[in-house]
Structure 1
């Protein structure tokens, strides 16, 4: 079984490798990749492996960005310290979602699920056993209980905190390696959270992750240009931000669907 490990923590790689060989001695590790960039490059020049173990937080961003550039058609087992990405993981053909620290029993259970899929003739991604579907339904019910952020306290100079409601925020973007928010009055403030963290704690009906640098609301959008290779170029209402915000071809349909949900989600 040819396997690829996508993980940026060396200790986690060592632990996973040891457990994998213990549970599946015949496994072959074709590659250990530690970033979005190296993963895209590797899959672009190598045949598809039989299985992928994938961490979510990588050296250069969220692993979900990988799927905006390439298609991974083999089974994927996600390994992470965070439980809030489970629904999103199943949308990209995950067969299991393991929370760190990972033990031998976790790996054994994952291979039992994989064997069950193979035995039922549903080994192709996108098809799930009844056990997977029950687990997915549980995640759906937990997701309904999730409380998205409605307010923030922004730290200001002079030991002050500025209370801001989410509906006052037009967009978040990365500038000088820090996250800034633009408010409805045009003022900008630095945020201590990363863009990945904000994307996970905000209602996805209100904000769209256009690319690695921008998380935008509908109200921030001035107009949209059709761009090369079937992409979209979003222009903002704020002249201080002149950069073109490109939405990849793979996410154009998702963006249009998100934008069209405006009335039913407001």
Structure 2
């Protein structure tokens, strides 16, 4: 059986490959892809893949974006640390998922389920239902973050934050009045906590608030430079894949 792994963390991909070889020696990992764009390109061409493992967060976006751009006609097993609403959606729509760190026993059960049915799940159609559940049930978003100032903890309103960024592995929130605050957690988790109408994940380093955006600057190969205020230390480059999404979001 040939499978493809969609995963942007090298260690996680290698671990999954090892677990698959232990679970079933007949499984061949045809390819490991770490981006939305690469996955779209892969499924746009003829292939002999029988099963796909998808991580949720990829190097250039969310793997859900793949299903908006190309028809995926093989069963999908998700490897994810996504929140309870997505997990509930996966259950409702009979899509297999594995919570990270992946348990070998659960992986074998997922493979057994696939082998017993050999049924192609209409993934693209199912995702419309998933998004509906997510949008219906998850109505509340983060309104404050508890941050430290010297020896005091204070609530920082989300409305005061212009953007979030990663600096030497640490997540920082930059306020409109140019102050910097350290935020506990990963940028991926923060992205889920924020109202998607107010914040946009520009790339792996930045989540930007709509009101902080001054303009978009055309860049080479269909990319964009996102100019915000206050100005960050580095340019915010939006990939060719995400550029249309940003434009649509701003409209």
Common topology (TM > 0.5): yes
Which string of whole-angstrom CA distances, capped at 9 and with x for unpartnered residues, describes residues 52-87 of structure 1? 2233468x79774996xx979563421224345849
SS in 1 for 2:120: helix
Deviation at 1:206, TM superposition (A): 0.8
Is the 2:199–2:207 Cα contact (8 Å) retained in structure 1? yes
Q: How far is the alpha carbon of 1:107 from its aligned partner?
A: 2.3
Q: How many residues align?
A: 230
After superposition, where does 1:219-230 map in structure 2 within 5 Å?
A: 219-230=211-222
Q: CA deviation at 1:12?
A: 4.7
Gapped regions of structure 1 (runs ≥ 5):
261-266
| TM-score (normalizing by structure 2) | 0.72
Match 1:150 to one of 138, 143, 167 = 143
Residue 98 of structure 1 aligns with which residue?
97
SS of the aligned residue for 2:178 comes to coil
TM-score normalised to structure 1 length: 0.68
Change over 3 Å in CA distance of 1:62–1:253 after alignment to 2? closer
- List per-residue Cα deviations over 1:218-258 (Å, max 9, x = no partner): 1111222122222221111224x253212122122211121
1:4/1:49 contact within 8 Å kept:
no
8 Å Cα contact 1:52-1:74 kept in structure 2: no
- Which structure would you say has the larger RCO, counting Cα contacts within 8 Å and 6 or more residues apart? 2
Q: Check whether the contact 1:171–1:181 (CA below 8 A) recurs between aligned residues.
A: yes
- The aligned residue for residue 116 of structure 1 is 119
The corresponding residue for 1:170 is 162
CA offset digits 1:104-152 (Å, max 9, x no partner): 3322334556x3338xxx6xx63x5xxxx4x963673354222321111
Measure, in 2, the Cα distance between the counterparts of 1:186 and 1:141.
37
Residue 19 of structure 2 is aligned to residue 15 of structure 1 = yes
> CA, structure 1 residues 199+223, in 2 after alignment: closer, same or farther (shift >3 Å)?
same
**Alignment partner, residue 204 of structure 1:** 196
